Amino acid sequence: QVQFVESGGGLVQPGGSLRLSCVISGYISSPYNMAWYRQAPGKQREWVATLRAAGDTYYADSVKGRFTIARDNAWKSSLQMSSLEPEDTAAYYCNTDPTYSTWGQGTQVTITS
């Protein structure tokens, strides 16, 4: 069974930075695209960024230029977040794109002064 484990969240001030990490375990048919998603309180989960197996990246307009998705190895990805805004407050999840049915616990990111 595929499992996603996210880490690296925290409480930061506006303008700050965080680096989220994701470890994937279990079997995933290769090649696959890595991706990050987030869910703010009271809102639906939304897509944030995708790193395709071919190496090209895609970002939601709301994070473009501030977030960077990377693949550390075949089973680890990261999301470097800079110039964080209160609107970035959410639980962040990694998955594939398109997504697997299973989701991890997520890691909470809170931006507040």
pLDDT at 28: 84
Rounded average pLDDT over 103-108: 97
Provide mean pLDDT across the span 43-53.
97
Q: At residue 63, does pLDDT exceed 90?
A: yes
| Residues 1-47 pLDDT 10s | 899 999 999 999 999 999 999 999 988 888 899 999 999 999 999 99
List Cβ neighbours of 68 (8 Å cut-off, separation of 6 or more). 57, 79, 80
Kindly tell me if the per-residue pLDDT of 74 is higher than 90.
no
